[in-house]
Every structure is written in structure tokens, then in C-alpha cells.
């Protein structure tokens, strides 16, 4: 009887969520996305560069070595996944190919973003064997930045007068490449490095309220944390919005890939912090410690959160319905005229109003390619949930 009541409750819960889900204009938004990216492709044709954002009113293009380089080809793969139109596959292949040499890149931790968002999606969709080899080499390159004494992958090499071994919360996102490589090859070294990094991030990055520090600097000789601070947030003690999003997504992914409940429990605690502090329209200010409408919102953080909440809602928790509703509400806001660009505007990016680094006076209230990428990812997840 108790099981029957639980089944009925879950059915009613999903029915309510499903009806709300139908208010997300997925088809019309993806039509706009295709219009915008068609125009972007025309604008960058013949240039071996990738669109990142707007700078001084003009489209900013970046080299393959830029940390954001994988998001544009990744978005093209999503458009192909959604539409089945071969022109998007051709474009995705073309712009992914610009990153081929990045498989050997060891200059920072961002090879996960660069290669898994581009070639990772390409391999998932096409099973191209060449992509598989590129990704395995990319995982090997990422592993060169691991220090077993610290138990983490080093994020950055710059600012060495201040930091000895900096690890940023963003780095959780790059572990997906390692776990993919483990599942694909059976090489346990990939798994061990990913788990060690996640465990030490869990131990050292989070405060009692489950907000996260942006940067933890370690002593590479002792493996102990030296400094806990921010680089892109309001202050060392604040909760940078995109950092919270990276944490939510990263630990949800770790649970999905390992089945270890400690990662699920942490993801849920990060989720509760976000839901407690996020504005009513579910699009955070650039830092959770600011709450004035004079401060910019960060649509990129919201898009990452939406994608993560869709995943978190699948894992059987008593809060699953709450997480699903959060994902839906975020997509509803991002799909409104406040954040969704009109065709032909916004330099052909999809979402408006993201923030790169307000303290660095860089990319404030502009479109960002990773906002578009995670927005499309979340829309595809919403579409699957509706089927």
C-alpha cells in the first residue's frame, strides 16, 4: 500500500512538472538558435577563429588555445543533434577540427572544456574513431597537471608570486573527460585522478553553508591548503554565481559517473544553497552576495544550473520534483524576451546578459559562448524529459 501511494505521488508530481515543462518554447527557441548561428557562420567564414563574446560592440573571435574554444563547435553539435540537419554536422566537424592540436595542450586545466565539449559531443553523436583517439590523448594531457601530493589537478600556472598550486572550482567540469576516458579504455589511472580531485575539492572548497570558494591554493610540498579566495567573485568570502553552478554540475556529474552517494549528497546541498539564495526569476546575479538590480545578472550561470538541475532531478531523491521545477523555471526565464535575443541582434549569440569577470572589468553584461552552449544543452534535456 505504501509503495502504491508513493507511485501515485510520483506520477502526480511528474504530471505537474510535465505540464509546466510544456511551457518552455523549445522548438521556437531552437529555431532562433539556428537563425543566429547561421548568421554567425556567415560572419566567421574563412577565419580559423571561434566566436566567444562581444567586445566594445564587436564580435570577439579567439584562437583554439582559448579556454572557451570548445563551446562554439559543441553548440553546433547540439544543433545537429536537435535538427538532424547535415549542415550543422558539417559545421560542427569543421570548427571542431580547429582544436585538433589541443589534444596535446598542457598549459592549464581547461582542455576538458575545450575538447570534451567539442570532440566529446562529436564522438557521442557520430562514434568517429578519430575523435575517440583525440579524446583519450586529451585526457592523458590533462593528467600531466595532477600532483599526487596535493591530490588535485593544477588549474593555472600564472600569478606564481601569489599562488603555489591554485585549484579552482571550475576544474570539476574537466573531470568528465577523465571519467569518459576511464569508461572507454578501462585505464584506472583516469578514474583515480578524477576521484582524488573531486574528494579534495569536496574537503577544501566548501564552506559550512555549502557555498564554494573560487580558488584554493595548495602547498605542493605538504598538500595542504594555503589560501582560500576568489578571482572572479565579489570577495574571498562570497559565493560567485558561476562557481556555484560549476560545483552543482560537477558533483552531479561525479555521482552519475561513479554512483558514489557522497557526490549526490554534496550536489543536493549545493542545490539547496542555490535555491535558497537565487532571485525569483531563477537567474542569479553575478555573485550571490549582491542583490541589487543595479548589479548584472549572469545568464551563463543560470544555463549551467538548469542543465545540472535536470540531471539532479533524475536520481530518485525526495527533492527530485523541486530540482526539476528549478530547471524548468530557469529555462522559462532564459527563454523570455529579457534574456533571449531577437534574431539578427546580439551579434548573433542566443542569450544576453552574462558576466565573465566583473572584478576584472571583463565581459560584463554581454553574451558568452558558454551561456549558449549550456542553454542548448539544457533545452535538449528538457526535450527528452517531455518525450
Q: Identify whether 66 is part of a domain.
A: no
CATH number, domain with residue 298: 1.50.10.10
Domain span holding position 376: 9-42+252-387
Instruction: Give the separation between CA 279 and CA 276, rounded to whole angstroms.
Output: 9
262 Cα distance to chain centroid: 21
Which residues, other chains included, contact 206 with Cβ-Cβ below 8 Å and sequence gap of 6+? 212, 213, 247, 266, 270
Strand partners, 380: none
Q: How confident is the model at residue 8 (pLDDT cuts 50, 70, 90)?
A: very low
> Total domain count for the chain?
1
pLDDT tops 90 at residue 23: no
Computed over every residue of the chain, the mean pLDDT equals: 94
Average pLDDT over residues 183-191: 98
pLDDT tops 90 at residue 386: no
Instruction: Give the separation between CA 144 and CA 136, rounded to whole angstroms.
Output: 13
DSSP state of 342: P
Determine the pLDDT at residue 19.
38
Determine the pLDDT at residue 387.
66
Q: What Å distances lie between residue 186 and 61, 179, 267, CA to CA?
A: 38, 10, 26
**Burial class, 8, CB count within 10 angstroms (exposed 0-12 / middle 13-18 / buried 19+):** exposed
3-state SS, residue 234: coil
Positions of E strands within the chain: 50-55, 58-62, 146-147, 152-153, 166-168, 215-218, 225-229, 354-357, 362-366
Average pLDDT over residues 309-334: 95
Determine the pLDDT at residue 147.
98
- Contact between residue 122 and residue 128 where contact means Cβ atoms under 8 Å apart: yes
Average pLDDT over residues 11-33: 69
pLDDT tops 90 at residue 4: no
Q: Identify whether 222 is part of a domain.
A: no
Average pLDDT over residues 223-249: 98
Determine the pLDDT at residue 317.
78
Q: Identify whether 234 is part of a domain.
A: no
Note the pLDDT tens digit of each residue in 194-221.
999 999 999 999 999 999 999 999 999 9
Task: Name the H helices within 22-157.
Answer: 26-44, 71-83, 86-97, 111, 121-126, 129-143
Q: How confident is the model at residue 2 (pLDDT cuts 50, 70, 90)?
A: very low
Q: Identify whether 220 is part of a domain.
A: no
pLDDT tops 50 at residue 94: yes
Determine the pLDDT at residue 21.
43
Note the pLDDT tens digit of each residue in 160-177.
999 999 999 999 999 999
pLDDT tops 70 at residue 6: no
Q: Identify whether 260 is part of a domain.
A: yes
Determine the pLDDT at residue 20.
46
Determine the pLDDT at residue 318.
85
Q: Identify whether 157 is part of a domain.
A: no
DSSP state of 101: G
Note the pLDDT tens digit of each residue in 110-152.
999 999 999 999 999 999 999 999 999 999 999 999 999 999 9
Q: Identify whether 35 is part of a domain.
A: yes
Which residues, other chains included, contact 384 with Cβ-Cβ below 8 Å and sequence gap of 6+? none
Q: Identify whether 83 is part of a domain.
A: no
Q: How confident is the model at residue 3 (pLDDT cuts 50, 70, 90)?
A: very low
Residues annotated as catalytic (active site), given as ranges: 110, 170
Q: How confident is the model at residue 9 (pLDDT cuts 50, 70, 90)?
A: very low
Amino acid at each position: 500500500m505504501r509503495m502504491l501511494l508513493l507511485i501515485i505521488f510520483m506520477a502526480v508530481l511528474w504530471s505537474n512538472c510535465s505540464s509546466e515543462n510544456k511551457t518552455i518554447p523549445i522548438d521556437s527557441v531552437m529555431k532562433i538558435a539556428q537563425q543566429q548561428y547561421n548568421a554567425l557562420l556567415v560572419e566567421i567564414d574563412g577565419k580559423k577563429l571561434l566566436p566567444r563574446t562581444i567586445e566594445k560592440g564587436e564580435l570577439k573571435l579567439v584562437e583554439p588555445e582559448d579556454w572557451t574554444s570548445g563551446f562554439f563547435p559543441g553548440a553546433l553539435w547540439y544543433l545537429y543533434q536537435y535538427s538532424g540537419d547535415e549542415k550543422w554536422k558539417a559545421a560542427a566537424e569543421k570548427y571542431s577540427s580547429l582544436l585538433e592540436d589541443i589534444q596535446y595542450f598542457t598549459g592549464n586545466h581547461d582542455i576538458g572544456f575545450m575538447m570534451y565539449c567539442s570532440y566529446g559531443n562529436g564522438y557521442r553523436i557520430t562514434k568517429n574513431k578519430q575523435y575517440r583517439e583525440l579524446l583519450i590523448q586529451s585526457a592523458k594531457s590533462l593528467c600531466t597537471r595532477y600532483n599526487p601530493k596535493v591530490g588535485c589537478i593544477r588549474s593555472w600556472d600564472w600569478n606564481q608570486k601569489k599562488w603555489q598550486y591554485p585549484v579552482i572550482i571550475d576544474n570539476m567540469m574537466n573531470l568528465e573527460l577523465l571519467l569518459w576516458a576511464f569508461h572507454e579504455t578501462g585505464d584506472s589511472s583516469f578514474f583515480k585522478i578524477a576521484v582524488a580531485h573531486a574528494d579534495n575539492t569536496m574537503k577544501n572548497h566548501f564552506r559550512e553553508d555549502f557555498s564554494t570558494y573560487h580558488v584554493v591554493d595548495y602547498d605542493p610540498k605538504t598538500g595542504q591548503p594555503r589560501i582560500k579566495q576568489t578571482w572572479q567573485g565579489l570577495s574571498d568570502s562570497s559565493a560567485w554565481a558561476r562557481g556555484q553552478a560549476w560545483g552543482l554540475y560537477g558533483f552531479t556529474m561525479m555521482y552519475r559517473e561513479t554512483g558514489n552517494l557522497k557526490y549526490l549528497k554534496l550536489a543536493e546541498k549545493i542545490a539547496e544553497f542555490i535555491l535558497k539564495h537565487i532571485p525569483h526569476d531563477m537567474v542569479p546575479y553575478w555573485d550571490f552576495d549582491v542583490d541589487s538590480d543595479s548589479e548584472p545578472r549572469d545568464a551563463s550561470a543560470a544555463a549551467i544550473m538548469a542543465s545540472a538541475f535536470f540531471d539532479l532531478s533524475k536520481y530518485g531523491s525526495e527533492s527530485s520534483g523541486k530540482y526539476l521545477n528549478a530547471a524548468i523555471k530557469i529555462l522559462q526565464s532564459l527563454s523570455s524576451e529579457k534574456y533571449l535575443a531577437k534574431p539578427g541582434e546580439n551579434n548573433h549569440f542566443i542569450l544576453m546578459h552574462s558576466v565573465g569577470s566583473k572584478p576584472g572589468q571583463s565581459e560584463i553584461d554581454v553574451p558568452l559562448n558558454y551561456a549558449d552552449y549550456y542553454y542548448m544543452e539544457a533545452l535538449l534535456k528538457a526535450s527528452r524529459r517531455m518525450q
